[in-house]
Structure 1
């Protein structure tokens, strides 16, 4: 009995004890205090906190009296949205601290010190994104040896001040993007490619024998499947395995979009283009978006714009209007046409041609060594050093070939043709006519030693001279050509020259792709993804 009473008493004593313990635990839990309002409150910044930051960033905060500036929630969210939208520019949101900024904005408990740290991070992100949109993420000069475009500069602090004052982050950052329609088209292209379904299930096309009209089989199915994937062929027309007229028409459209002569034949270039996966095309668009950020913000009131991989030259007026187009021949992969910007300064009618070092070493010296009649056959004079007295072919010493100057006289067989268009540059290249006019009929025209050959140079010369307002006419130009004498014509009206490189764009016929003839895309894409 005593044992039972003892248990009851202990139980009674313990019950209140358990209740008290539970109560103390509940009282120990503190409700987190919501400090989100601190994000919208101005906080002083100790300048020592910025000691490791860049000079422009320090300057920005010094101008703003060392206080936080991202006090408006709409501004902060607009910056985050702009960073997310940068994927359509081929940029990585992670480069601009997107996750950290989102975490800050969603946080309900934050300290004053954290507000300051995030304010600086937002300023850094804005400045970085603005600069990348305006002049690119990668420096072209450090990537390609023959790339000489004028550097672009941007005052990101001024833009940020404007954006915060007007509360229009989106508009100000959008202003940093290139305004050319091609850039806008590339952004649409990237969205379009991203929205396409996965293409890993598509079978690779292998041609073992020619495919002709009415042929059928697995390979025809694979061809139609890829044409339908790229929307050159309507899905309903891809349901059978017959190589019919609609498939030929679709293939011609596909060829046209890839810079291949649209004959409907399944040659090696066409098969290679059909087998190119979506991921590769995305890489091309991303690299071309970056290049457009390197290019001049404005082509100028009147400009000659050459797209090297497309073998085409456009004459542009009012920065965007194409008034004339020309076929061109550009440099071979081993003698590349440089990417550059300059202005025409004079024309040479009936030009002479001095053989450059590369052609001297690789072409002239071996040929002339075998046959001295090479000089007469090419209307070429030889001069030793700076001598003005001509050296005869018989006295020419092949072992000292680089001690001579070789000057080809004017005429239709001159390597520069009848007109040379000169502009200042460090590569000694220019635009010119040619004595090999048959090359313009070829589809792939990377055939020169670096200069750009123009298919209809007299037409181009007439256009340029007509803008000079100096009494020049095509008739007067022809008179000088007929005389056969060399004459320089100075140019005073500014005609810009842009030798550029892009392998992807979008136009009225859809996505356009060109072969990366100098293998510049992959190295740039890898840099952009580092």
Structure 2
């Protein structure tokens, strides 16, 4: 009997403790919900899509108990530069500052900021940073916007943040090639080495021997396209392979002939090439949609 009484008392204490904790959690949750509701209703900067997301979910915080999702999103935003998207578009520092706060007001702010940045990056990655039609009336990209994708409808408990962003980025092989080229260019820029300028006073072809072939070799070596550091003045088959690879990666006709356009591409500064690659990545994001059966 004595043992049963002890067990009963322990069970009662556990139950009361559970109720106490549940009450605290419930009160905290209610405070956070009220904070989110106030921000949504009175902050003029909140977009309609974010308002709709929270009103449909009764102002419940989405990210509070999804720390792994926060970590995944932060990682993706921090690495957006790899896609040619500036990281300063996102509120990374603000997210980091609020991430470990226990204040209900900060938890509410963080939740909305995370949702806002999730939505912004989803748009940036799948449609582009800017609307091409606003840049020029001569840009003829007619996207079917009758079925606007509601990115936030994908923000469910089941979503895998990393897989989701992988699924909405451009699928073309050109996009991946440009990302690789962008990474290589950033490595070259960080080296801060002098750039070899290739003299353009003669057209070079395989089989030729000429002093200009030495700076050509040096330039291809700087670009990590040529592996052999030979100082030969002969345009041999090994050099031809590197020239063809350079021409292909630069969007030129791969004919192995070093003419005007190839010289221009070879002598572009790293900064100029970086800008070109980032612009081309953005163009592919503009075209990241179903062209329809007529194509």
The corresponding residue for 1:133 is 125
Equivalence map 1:285-434=2 (5 Å): 285-300=277-292
Rounded Cα–Cα distance in structure 1 between residues aligned with 2:79 and 2:39: 31
CA offset digits 1:90-117 (Å, max 9, x no partner): 1122212111112222x3x542111111
2:88 pairs with 1:94: yes
Rounded Cα–Cα distance in structure 1 between residues aligned with 2:144 and 2:34: 34
User: Structure 1 residue 70: deviation in Å?
Assistant: 0.9
CA offset digits 1:109-166 (Å, max 9, x no partner): 5421111111111111111111111211100100121223214422022012x2xx11
Larger Rg: 1
Rounded Cα–Cα distance in structure 1 between residues aligned with 2:178 and 2:195: 25
8 Å CA contact retained: 1:221, 1:240: yes
Rounded Cα–Cα distance in structure 2 between residues aligned with 1:263 and 1:56: 52
1:156 pairs with 137, 142, 151, which one? 151
TM-score relative to the length of structure 2: 0.75
User: Structure 1 residue 253: deviation in Å?
Assistant: 4.4
Cα 1:175–1:232 shift into 2, 3 Å: closer
Instruction: Give secondary structure in 2 for the equivalent of 1:62.
Output: helix
Q: Give unmatched runs, 5+ long, in structure 2.
A: 1-24
Instruction: Give secondary structure in 1 for the equivalent of 2:69.
Output: helix
User: Structure 1 residue 45: deviation in Å?
Assistant: 2.9
Instruction: Give secondary structure in 1 for the equivalent of 2:34.
Output: coil
Rounded Cα–Cα distance in structure 1 between residues aligned with 2:203 and 2:94: 57
The corresponding residue for 1:270 is 262
8 Å CA contact retained: 1:45, 1:68: no
The corresponding residue for 2:9 is none
User: Structure 1 residue 281: deviation in Å?
Assistant: 2.3
The corresponding residue for 1:63 is 56
2:234 pairs with 222, 226, 243, which one? 243
8 Å CA contact retained: 1:134, 1:154: no
Rounded Cα–Cα distance in structure 2 between residues aligned with 1:142 and 1:291: 14
Instruction: Give secondary structure in 1 for the equivalent of 2:281.
Output: helix
- Aligned pair count reads 255
User: Structure 1 residue 282: deviation in Å?
Assistant: 2.1
CA RMSD, 1 decimal: 2.7
Rounded Cα–Cα distance in structure 1 between residues aligned with 2:98 and 2:274: 32
User: Structure 1 residue 261: deviation in Å?
Assistant: 5.9
8 Å CA contact retained: 1:253, 1:262: no
Cα 1:115–1:232 shift into 2, 3 Å: closer
8 Å CA contact retained: 2:126, 2:288: no
Rounded Cα–Cα distance in structure 2 between residues aligned with 1:209 and 1:296: 41
Rounded Cα–Cα distance in structure 1 between residues aligned with 2:203 and 2:177: 36
Rounded Cα–Cα distance in structure 2 between residues aligned with 1:151 and 1:299: 9
Cα 1:298–1:203 shift into 2, 3 Å: same
Larger % of helix: which?
Answer: 2
Larger % of strand: which?
Answer: 1
The corresponding residue for 2:13 is none
User: Structure 1 residue 257: deviation in Å?
Assistant: 4.4
Higher relative contact order (CA 8 A, sep 6+): 2
Q: Give unmatched runs, 5+ long, in structure 1.
A: 1-37, 301-493, 497-530
